[in-house]
Amino acid sequence: MAAYYNPEIKEKLVREQLMALLNTSIPEGEEEVFGWRLVHDGVAPDIYYGQRIVPGGIELIDGNYVQTYDVAGNPAPVPQDPADRLTDIEDMLSSLRDTQQDLVELNESGTTVSARLAEIEDAIVELASIITEG
């Protein structure tokens, strides 16, 4: 929906409201009408789960008035340092290996845990491939 902005009074109206105010028709896409400037749509920012895009202010960019957008809701996740991620994966791998050893000892004592051992081994292989790829 086309909108117009008056920089002198800092007001924004949709095209139909401006036509009613001025009691005149405005051709579609008209850049300026009696001091009211067409508002161009800006680029919306990337959002994450739990966030939403809300209209921000109107700014003069490269000679055009542009509707900007802001993000509301949960803050964006902080990117994790690859070295920290690798440390986390190595810690998980170590924990899985310890658990695997505990299960082997239980199995040797006569407790049946072969299905769980297979799951642990698959997880270790998957984590090892992540470590070598990352």
Do 28 and 53 lie in a common domain? yes
Do 28 and 66 lie in a common domain? yes
pLDDT of 62 reads 87
Do 94 and 56 lie in a common domain? no
pLDDT of 130 reads 77
Number of domains in the chain: 2
- Both tokens of residue 104? 């082997």
Q: How far apart are CA 32 and CA 15, in angstroms?
A: 11
Task: Point out the domain boundary residue: 73, 96, 119.
Answer: 73
Do 96 and 65 lie in a common domain? no
Task: Point out the domain boundary residue: 73, 90, 121.
Answer: 73
What is the pTM (predicted TM-score) of this model?
0.50
pLDDT of 111 reads 56
Query: Are the CB atoms for 51 and 72 separated by under 8 Å?
Result: yes
Which residues make Cβ contacts (< 8 Å) with residue 17, sequence separation at least 6?
Answer: none
How large is the angle between the packed helices 82-108 and 114-133, nearest 10 degrees? 160
Q: What is the pLDDT along the chain (134 residues), one digit of tens a residue?
A: 789 999 999 999 999 999 999 999 999 989 999 999 999 988 888 877 778 888 888 988 888 899 988 888 877 666 667 777 778 788 888 888 888 888 777 777 665 566 667 777 778 878 877 777 75
Domain holding 93, by residue range, is: 82-133
- Both tokens of residue 119? 């799951």
Q: Distances in Å between the alpha carbon of 78 and those of 29, 69, 74, 130? A: 41, 21, 12, 21
